[in-house]
Amino acid sequence: RKADVECRMLVLGAGPGGYTAAFRAADLGLDTVLVERYPTLGGVCLNVGCIPSKALLHAAAVIDEAAHAKEYGIDFGAPKIALDALRAYKEKVVGQLTKGLAGMAKQRKVRVVQGSGRFVSPHELEVQGEGGTQLIRFEQCIIAAGSQPVKLPGFPWDDPRVMDSTDALELAEVPKRLLVVGGGIIGLEMATVYRALGSEVTVVELAGQLMPGADADLVKPLADRLKKQGVAVHLQTKVAEARPQKNGIACTFDGASIPETKPFDRVLVAVGRAPNGNRIDAHKAGVTVTERGFIPVDRQMRTNVPHIFAIGDLVGNPMLAHKATHEGKLAAEVAAGEKREWIARVIPSVAYTDPEIAWVGVTETEAKAKGLKVGVGKFPWAASGRAIGLGRTEGVTKLVFDEASHRVIGGGIVGPHAGELIAEIALAIEMGAEAADIGHTIHPHPTLSESVAMAAEVYEGTITDLY
C-alpha cells in the first residue's frame, strides 16, 4: 500500500514531550510530522493538566489572600464568583498557549496530522481522522502518547457527577459537597480550588499521609491548613461503594477513618494515571510494552527497536511535564545523530497546593529507609522576616546532605512559592554543591530564597539559635 505521507521523523502525540521533540527535530533539520488526535496541540499538560489547574489555583489563591487581608485591616467582603467568567479566564490562558504552539509548529514547517494513530509496521503508522485514514511512512519515530486518568472500577462512571481530573477542570458547577478520592498532588490541587470556590470538601486517601512521596514534616503544614479551612481528610480509608442517587452519589467507606456517609453532589477520582502504551498497537512495530502500558527505554530514550524512541508519561514515573520535555529534546537530538544521553540527576516534584510542597532528590524518609549516612539542615520560616510579613510562618525549608562529602543530595520546601524555590536546590544538586557553597552564596534579603542558604547554614552549624 502506498503511503499518504512520508517523513524522516514521526512524533506520535503532541503533549509537552511530543511537541518539544517535534520542534527540536525540525530545528535540527529533520522533516517532521506530528500526529495528535485532538484539535489542539499541548497534550494533557496544556489542555487538561498543568496549565488550567494553575490558572484556577491562582483564582483560589486570590480568594484566600483577600480573606486573609481582613486580619490586617483590609476587608474586601465576601467573594462574588462568576463561574462563567472564571471558566473563560482558564480557557483564555489555555488558548493562548495552544495557539502559540500551533504557530511554532507552522514556523518550523512541522506537518501536523490530526487523528488517532496506530502502528501497522515498524515504519508505518495509520492515522484515523475525521477525513478518513492516512498511512504515514517514517524513517524514525518518537512515541509520546502520554497517559490518562485511572478509572477506578466500582464508580458509576456514566454518571456526570463522577469526575476525573479533566471533568473537574471543566468547572461545570461548584458542588455543595465534593468528595475527592486520592490525596495526591492532583486530588489536593483540585480540592484547593473547589474549597476556595465554596465547596465543602472531603478527601479520602488510602495511604497513611497525604501526598505520599513527600516527607511527613513537609506535608503537616498543608494538612493543618486544610483542617483549619474545614477540609475533612480521612487517611487509610477507601471508598467501598459509590451509588448514584437522585440527591447525589451515596458512598460507603472502608478503613481507619470513616467519613460521615451522606450523598456527595460530586465525586472526583484522582488516584493516578495510566500510560497509553497499550493503545497504539506498538507490538506491530516490534516495540516492547509492559503489562501496565509503559514502554521501556534506554538512557537515549530508545525503545528495543533502534529507530523508535519513546518519551514522557508513557516511559515511566514521575509523570511530569518537565521530565517529558527534557526527554523529548534528548530523543530528537539522538535521532538526529547527536551523542547525548540522560544525565539529569534529579527531577523536582511540586504540589501547587496552599501552601505549596516541593521536593527534589533524596527525601529524608528515603535516606532513612535506604540507610544512607545523611545530615539534615532545616530552616523554619517562623524565623524569616519575609514569611512573617506574608503571614505565612508555617513554611519549612529542608536540605539533605551526604555526611561524607557534605554535598546536597536532596531538599524539600513547604510554603508559598515552594515550587519556585525548589529550582535552586535542583541546580545545587546538579552542580554537586556542598553546604558551604549554598550557605556562602549571598541571597537577597528579605526573600523566602534566603531560607535555602539558612538551611545549609543550620547544617553547617553556623546558625544555632533558631529553635
**Which residues make up the interface to ligand FAD (CB under 6 A)?**
12-18, 35-38, 43-45, 49-50, 53, 116-117, 144-147, 165, 186, 276, 280, 312-313, 319-322, 324, 352
Specify the residue, 14 or 421, whose C-beta has the smaller distance to ligand FAD: 14
CB of 304 to ligand FAD, least distance (A): 19
Stated as kind and residue range, the H or E segment containing 38 is none
Which has the closest alpha carbon to 202: 214, 217, 187, 185? 187
To 10 degrees, the CA torsion angle through 380, 383, 385, 389?
A: 70
CB of 313 to ligand FAD, least distance (A): 4
CB of 148 to ligand FAD, least distance (A): 7
Q: Is 188 flagged in the annotation as binding?
A: yes
68: annotated active-site residue: no
Q: Cβ(155)–Cβ(260) under 8 Å?
A: no
CB of 11 to ligand FAD, least distance (A): 9
Specify the residue, 257 or 290, whose C-beta has the smaller distance to ligand FAD: 290
CB of 77 to ligand FAD, least distance (A): 31
> Cell numbers 478503613 label which residue?
255
Looking from the CA of 58 toward its CB, the CA atoms found within 13 Å total 10
Specify the residue, 18 or 439, whose C-beta has the smaller distance to ligand FAD: 18
Q: Cβ(268)–Cβ(179) under 8 Å?
A: yes
Specify the residue, 197 or 453, whose C-beta has the smaller distance to ligand FAD: 197
Q: Is 320 flagged in the annotation as binding?
A: yes
Q: Is 456 flagged in the annotation as binding?
A: no
What amino acid is encoded at 245 in this protein? Q
Q: Mark 384-415 as b/e (b = at least 16 C-beta within 10 Å).
A: bebbeebebebbbbbbbbbeeebbbbbbbbbb
Q: Is 189 flagged in the annotation as binding?
A: yes
Specify the residue, 248 or 416, whose C-beta has the smaller distance to ligand FAD: 416
- For residue 462, give the DSSP letter: S
Candidates 68, 283, 440, 445; catalytic one: 445
Please write down the long-range contacts of 242-245, taking CB distance under 8 Å and 24 or more positions apart: 242/154, 242/155, 242/156, 242/162, 242/267, 243/156, 244/156, 244/159, 244/161, 244/162
Q: Is 186 flagged in the annotation as binding?
A: yes
At 425, list the grid cell.
536546590
Q: Cβ(18)–Cβ(312) under 8 Å?
A: yes
Q: Is 9 flagged in the annotation as binding?
A: no
Binding-site members for FAD are 54, 117, 313, 319-322
Binding-site members are 54, 117, 182-189, 205, 272, 313, 319-322
Binding-site members for NAD(+) are 182-189, 205, 272
Supply the residues annotated as catalytic: 445
